[in-house]
Amino acid sequence: MFDLDRWNEIWYALAKNKVRSLLTAFGVFWGIFMLIVMAGASNGLKNGIVEGVAKFATNSCFMWSQQTGEPYKGFKRGRQWNMDSDDLAYVLANVPEVEYISPKNFGSRMNGGPNTIHGLKTGAYNVKGDYPEYIKIDPYTVLQGRWINDMDIRDKRKVCVIGEKVFEQMFDAKENPLGDYLKISGVYYQVVGVIRPETRININGRAEESIFLPFTTMQQTYNMGNMVHFLAVTSKKGIPVSVVEEKVKNIIKMRHSIAPTDVQALNSVNIEKEFQQMNGLFIAIGVLTWIVGIGTLMAGVIGVSNIMLVIVKERTKEIGVQRALGASPRTIITQIMLESVALTTIAGYTGLSLGVALLELVNKVIENQPKTGNEVFFQHPEVNITVAVAALIILVLAGLFAGSIPAKRALMIKPIEALREE
């Protein structure tokens, strides 16, 4: 099984022309190195994005009003309109497939200036009006206190939940914000909770830099009447979001005298479709990674095959002597193919090892970076055991392929002609 003399002969043949062997091996090294790095980078991108949205409700859609795009029932094209609070009850009564429905309103930052005061500190933050159900769609970690509840909505309480960054900037590190007051756009609100977002999906600003009020309180305090800026809806288990999305849009269009065919007046985003497209993108990136990586590797393997043909040509007399002394075709083929496999395996394993080491180094650097929030979209660049095993199999097959053509060429050498070779 293991012939030491044969392996010594193979090593001698490769080491005889070190520069040529190294340059030839570099093609294989670079191919497998790029395959591993690209596969790891693809996984890092996927891990970063998926981790940022993994806890977001994929069975959800969001809607907001825009100018009408068609005239209808005496109304002109371009009419401004808004959803209202009555739409919620109507949707719940007429669309049984709805699991959660949550309106959302947005406040201004007072032309970009400070809108929040606490003692001597001021800040400009996003102000949002929410329902208790919204945290089931876009989840938050409650660091202190609580989230908005039904009693806040019913009694229109002047309370607020603040993002983690708001707490850090408006309060001292050891200060307890619960029960304290913030003056927001001229109105005092009692802080009842501090939250941190669990996803990187930002709707009208980052959640950690936002202040959340009970939806009804925001409507009343800032004279928004019955207006709804934004509507979030989720479907029940097993029901496609597109079904709920279509029914809800039809009902709202009907209630506000909007043409059923008007696609501009009520815009929406289907999160289920967005996730499906994202998964398709990751699959395409993975396929492209393997195509490019294997293509680069095959270019190196072809180089190995060409060099082995040159080596066979140089060793024509030696092969002729072996044939004349009774060496079997199997012995000749084995010798040539082992040289090829040895060259590609050593080069490929080196590329595989350095590729994995580079990914591990990048991963360590990312992990040691200070956590700055939602902007990290690249995490845990790594290759799993399946990819590593596949790469090793490719190496062996590549070596066999690279050696097969030179081995056949060696068998075609006739002993008599080989002995005459100068």
DSSP string, 52-73: HHTTS-TTEEEEEE---SS-BT
pTM of the model: 0.73
Nearest to 310 by CA among 272, 284, 336: 336
pLDDT digits 0-9 by tens, 39-94: 888 888 877 777 767 678 888 999 999 999 999 888 899 999 999 999 999 999 99
| Structure tokens given for 223 | 């004279």
Measuring CA to CA, which residue among 272, 292, 374, 271 is closest to residue 41?
Answer: 292
Q: What's residue 27's pLDDT?
A: 78
**Cα 270 to Cα 249: distance, rounded to the nearest angstrom:** 12
Share of the chain above pLDDT 90, in %: 40
User: In 248-334, at which residue ranges do the beta strands (DSSP E only) sit?
Assistant: 266-270
User: Treating both helix axes as pointing N-terminal to C-terminal, what angle do 4-15 and 329-368 enclose, rounded to 10 degrees?
Assistant: 70
Q: Which two tokens stand for residue 184?
A: 């927001």
- Rounded CA-CA distance 308/403 in Å is 7
Question: Taking a C-beta distance cutoff of 8 angstroms, is the pair 50, 220 a contact?
Answer: no
**Structure tokens of 205?**
């600003």
Q: Which two structure tokens, joined as six digits, stand for 358?
A: 């580079």
Q: How many CB atoms lie within 10 A of CB 370?
A: 4
Q: Check: CB of residue 399 under 8 Å from CB of residue 300.
A: no
State the pLDDT at residue 338. Answer: 73
CA–CA separation, 9 and 319 (whole Å): 13
3-state secondary structure of 132: helix
Q: What percent of the chain has pLDDT over 70?
A: 79
Q: What is the pLDDT of residues 89-145, one digit of tens each?
A: 999 999 999 999 999 999 865 456 788 999 899 999 999 999 999 999 999 999 999
Between 203 and 317, whose confidence is greater? Answer: 203
Q: Does residue 360 carry a pLDDT above 70?
A: yes
Q: 238 to each of 95, 248, 349, how far by Cα in Å?
A: 15, 17, 47
Buried b (16+ CB within 10 A) or exposed e, 65-99: beebbbebeeeeeebebebbeebbeebeeebebbb
CA–CA distance from 206 to each of 10, 125, 212, 275 (Å)? 62, 9, 12, 20
State how far the Cα of 357 lies from the Cα of 29, in Å rounded to an integer: 14
Range scoring the smallest mean pLDDT among 21-30, 108-117, 360-369: 108-117
160 pLDDT above the threshold of 90: yes
Tokens of 74: 């005496």
